[in-house]
Structure 1
Amino acid sequence: MLTLAHERRPGVTVITVCGELDATNRAQLDDYVKDLTDAPLVFDLSRVPFMDSSGLHVLLMCDVRCRREGGAVHLAAVQPLPARLFEITGVLSHVPMHATVEEAVTAALGRAERSV
């Protein structure tokens, strides 16, 4: 089961994703983030043990929408299996990944460079 929550902070929105992210629930995430692209987004992936290419696709399309609105996507606290997916697909050359949510928020607000 996938659970989603978000917190609007000054200048950034943090989206917490919990559970495996795959073809069975990718539409749930896609629907959830459609209206959250007006500020930089930080995805807290600390509770996502597994992600397949369909979950990756949703994150990339979200990044495209965010960039059109002047924002960007930052990934935070990524678990080993999803991190490997990001690494082998080359996503990290386009979407920054950070060790913690707070580091990602700082970077999203333009106060620091990529930290991982």
Structure 2
Amino acid sequence: MDLRVRNEVRGDWTVVAVSGELDADTVPVLSDHLEETPGDRVVVDLSGVPFMDTTGLSLMLDWHRRLDGTGGQFRMAALQPSVHKLFRLTELTEVMHIHESVASATA
């Protein structure tokens, strides 16, 4: 399955909408896209991601550390149940900013 990524600006936030499976084959696509994403307030909309493996998890954690560590903000929104379960099992729901919707993430 191909990974599709697009940006949308909502106020002070850049929303990165992702569609497709996020795994070792597709993580480089999202990684390159995030590198080119302007601003330091980013929400990754994962509503279109039915599957994520640990390489996707690692990318999300890296960007969380990168932006939050330099005064920016990194949030994730609209995780599907299987993806949210991965974050719960690794206890990253306690560390990362996960929101039910893009609207709540950008509020």
TM-score (norm 2): 0.91
Q: Which residue of 2 aligns with 1:14?
A: 15
| Contact 1:37-1:62 within 8 A present in 2 as well | no
| Percent of aligned positions that are identical | 36
Structure 1's unaligned 5+ residue stretches are 107-116
Q: Give 1:72 shift.
A: 1.8
Q: 1:64 — aligned with what?
A: 65
| Counterpart contact for 2:10–2:106, Cα < 8 Å | no
Q: CA RMSD in A?
A: 1.3
Query: 1:37: how far off?
Result: 6.2
**Distance in 1 of aligned mates of 2:39 and 2:70:** 6
- Structure holding more strand per residue: 2
- Give the Å deviation of 1:38: 3.0
Amino acid at match of 1:3: R
Q: How many residues align?
A: 106
Distance 1:91 1:6 in 2: 25
CA separation in 2, counterparts of 1:43 and 1:33?
9
- Equivalent pair of 2:5/2:17 in contact (CA under 8 Å): yes
TM-score scaled by structure 1?
0.85
Tell me the alpha carbon deviations over residues 80-103 of structure 1, each in whole angstroms, 9 at most, x when there is no partner. Answer: 110000101111111121111101
Query: Corresponding residue for 1:83?
Result: 84
**Ranges in structure 2 where 5+ consecutive residues have no aligned partner:** none
Task: For residue 36 of structure 1, report the CA deviation from its aligned partner.
Answer: 2.6
> What SS does the aligned partner of 2:36 have?
coil
User: Does the CA-based 8 Å contact 1:38-1:69 persist in structure 2?
Assistant: no
In the alignment, the residues of structure 1 paired with residue 65 and residue 97 of structure 2 have an alpha-carbon distance, to the nearest angstrom, of 14
Counterpart Cα distance in 1 of 2:39 and 2:13: 9
8 Å Cα contact 1:50/1:82 also seen in 2: yes
Query: SS in structure 2 opposite 1:70?
Result: coil
Matched, 1:103 2:104: yes
